[in-house]
Amino acid sequence: MKSAVITFPGSNCDRDMDVALKKFGFKNKMVWHQDIELPKSDLVVLPGGFSYGDYLRCGSMASKSKIMQSVINFANSGGMVMGICNGFQILVETGLVPGVLLRNKYLEFICKNVFVKISDKDNAYFKNIKNNVLELHIAHNEGNYFCTNDQLKEIEDNAQIAINYCNNQGKIEKSFNPNGSIKNIAGIFNKEKNVLGMMPHPERMIDPSLSGEDGSLFFKNLINNIK
Amino acid sequence: MKISVIITLKKDVLDPQGKVIHQALDGMGFKDVNEVRQGKYFEINTKETNPKKAKDKVEEMCKKLLANLVIENYKIIDAQ
C-alpha cells in the first residue's frame, strides 16, 4: 500500500506521520508542496503543523500551493485524502470538506489527550474498527469547527460526521468539548467519504512510550481496509 | 491604483477576540461600548488603471483567497 505525505513550509507533523505510516506497512513517500504531480498513492496525507505560519487564515495559503491541484484532482477522482489538524484546516480551505475551523472558543492553544467517538463506520477509514471510542491527542489553536445551518443539515443527512469529542464512555456532551466546535465535531468526511479531515493526531499515539496506542488501532485498521 | 478591502466576520459567527477586546475596553473605563468585532484590512496596489476592472479583479481575489465566505464578508473600498 502506497501513501504520500505532503510537506508544506511550516508542517511539523509530516515526519511523525511518515514514521506512523511506515510502522503499519505503508510504503510512504514525502512530497514537497512545490511538486506538481503526486506519486502513485492509495492514500494522501496532509499533515499537522503551521503551514505558511498560519498567515491569512490557517491552511488558506497551503490550500493554494502547487501540489494541491493534484491532491484535489486525486480526491475528486475518489482517492483517499486524510488531513490531520492543520491538514484538516487546509482541506476546509480547498472546499473538499465543508465548513471552517475557527479559533478555539476560550482563545487557548489546547494540547492534551481527548476521547473521540467514531460516529460513522460506513467508510474506508473506520470500517471494521472494533473500538467505538479512541483516546487521541489534540494540539491546536483553531479547531473550533463551524458551518452554516444549511451545511450542518446536509452533513447530518449524509452521515458525514466522522468523530465527535466525548468522554471515555463515548458520551457526547458539551462538557467534553475542548474547543467549542458545533455538535462536538472533531472530524468530518466529504459526501463520498473518501476525504477525511480531523483535528486529533493518531500519529502521536502509536507507541507505548508515547501517551497511548489508540492511534495504532486506527492505522492497523486503515491499512487492512485499503489492502 | 490602490484598492482597499475590509474583511469582517458574519453576524452569527462567534468572535472571541472581539469579545475580549470589548471586555478590556470596558475595564479601561470605556463603558458605553455595545460590541466589538475584529476584522482584517488589505491594501492592494495594482497595475490596472481602469477602476471598474481593478475592482472586479479584487472582488475575484476576495472570493478566491482573501475572505472565507462561510464566515466572512468583504467590502471593497473604491479605487483611489
Torsion of Cα atoms, A209 then A211 then A212 then A216, to 10°: -70
Tell me what the mean pLDDT of segment A14-42 comes to. Answer: 97
What per-residue confidence (pLDDT) applies to A69? 96
What per-residue confidence (pLDDT) applies to B79? 66
Domains of chain B: 2-77 (3.30.1280.10)
What per-residue confidence (pLDDT) applies to A210? 84
CB-based contacts of A143, cutoff 8 Å, min separation 6: A85, A101, A104, A110, A178, A179, A181, A186, A199
What tens digit of pLDDT does each residue of A140-180 get?
999 999 999 999 999 999 999 999 999 999 999 999 999 99
Is residue A105 pLDDT above 80, yes or no?
yes
In 3-state terms, what secondary structure has residue A136? strand
What tens digit of pLDDT does each residue of A78-101 get?
999 999 999 999 999 999 999 999
Give the nearest partner residue to A60 out of B17, B65, B71, using CB atoms. B65
Interchain proximity A147–B70, CB inside 8 Å: yes
B interface toward A at CB cutoff 8 Å? 13-14, 16-17, 20, 65-66, 68, 70-71
What tens digit of pLDDT does each residue of B2-46 get?
999 999 999 989 888 899 899 999 999 999 999 999 999 999 999
What per-residue confidence (pLDDT) applies to B78? 77
Q: How many CB pairs under 8 A join A and B?
A: 32
Nearest CA distance, A60 vs chain B (angstrom): 7
In whole numbers, what is the pLDDT of chain A averaged over residues? 96
What per-residue confidence (pLDDT) applies to B80? 63
What per-residue confidence (pLDDT) applies to B21? 93
What per-residue confidence (pLDDT) applies to B14? 85
Which residue, among A67, A70, A100, has the nearest Cα to B67 in the 3D structure?
A100
What per-residue confidence (pLDDT) applies to B16? 85
Which three three-digit cell numbers place residue A87? 491538514
Give the nearest partner residue to A100 out of B17, B66, B68, using CB atoms. B68
- Distance (Å, rounded) from C-alpha A81 to C-alpha B24? 43
Nearest CA distance, B36 vs chain A (angstrom): 16
Helix %, strand %, coil % of chain A (to 5):
30, 30, 40
CATH top-level class of A2-226:
alpha beta
